[in-house]
Chains A and B, each alone.
Chain A
Amino acid sequence: GEQVEQLPSILRVQERSSASINCTYENSASNYFPWYKQEPGENPKLIIDIRSNMERKQIQGLIVLLDKKAKRFSLHITDTQPADSAMYFCAATPSSFSKLVFGQGTSLSVVP
């Protein structure tokens, strides 16, 4: 199977600073690592993902890093805004058409 650990569970940052969330996984066969953002009362939405053939991916202010040796991946949000406040979930899966295993989530608050 797979287990994903996500830290921190709560993160509070000042507006315009950076926020970092870290996840570790157990199954070395895992090859796809998406990140989801969930706002209150809404469903989780995919915001960025990375596959095992990459070490870094950036979409605007979102950066994902993957360290396969350490079985660790992370999300970095640069220049945070209050609109970035939400729950963030990392996930991992070892193959196509397989279940995603989610981390416990990080509640991010961006304060003015």
Chain B
Amino acid sequence: NAGVIQTPRHKVTGKGQEATLWCEPISGHSAVFWYRQTIVQGLEFLTYFRNQAPIDDSGMPKERFSAQMPNQSHSTLKIQSTQPQDSAVYLCASSLRGQADYTFGSGTRLLVI
């Protein structure tokens, strides 16, 4: 079991560029969650999918952030026109039953300069 795999581990982008982050959930897990972690805001919920369908995107900044789950083996988080305030660690988690199996990936550390 390789756990939740996130790529890349680190990404540096220039202000205004696009960033795409990838997440491969644990095989067989039906729920995928995206969180953003910063020192100031802590762990903030962004969005989640269940059986590939978007369920709750209440934490997503609507204008520049989007997420997809085209198949059960991966999800992507795309940030258009990145801004310095988007700099954070983006964590993906997957869950079999929705609670006790909430396993986080190692995260993607995004730096926007």
Contacts and interface: CB of A to CB of B under 8 A. Distances in A.
B91 A98 contact: no
Interface stretch (B17-25, B40-48, B73-81): B40-48
B98 A98 contact: yes
A13 interface: no
A34 B103 CA distance: 12
A46 B102 contact: yes
Contact of A96 (B33, B43, B59, B97): B97
A99 B56 contact: yes
A82 interface: no
A54 B99 CA distance: 16
A22 interface: no
B104 to A, nearest CB: 4
Nearest to B31: A97
Interface centre among A46, A89, A98, A99 (most CB of B within 10 A): A99
Nearest to B104: A43
A43 B55 CA distance: 24
Interface centre among B33, B99, B103 (most CB of A within 10 A): B99
B50 interface: yes
User: Range of interface residues on chain A?
Assistant: 20 to 34
B100 interface: yes
A35 to B, nearest CB: 12
Contacts of A99: 33, 45, 48, 56, 59
A100 interface: yes
Nearest to A98: B98
A45 B104 contact: yes
Interface in A9-68: 32, 34, 42-46, 49
Interface of B: 31, 33, 42-43, 45, 48, 50, 55-56, 59, 91, 95, 97-100, 102-107
15 contacts: A42-B106, A46-B102, A46-B103, A49-B99, A49-B100, A96-B99, A97-B50, A97-B95, A98-B56, A99-B59, A100-B33, A100-B45, A100-B102, A101-B45, A103-B42
Complex A-B, nearest 6 residue pairs according to Cβ-Cβ distance, in ascending order: A97-B98, A102-B43, A43-B104, A96-B98, A99-B45, A104-B42
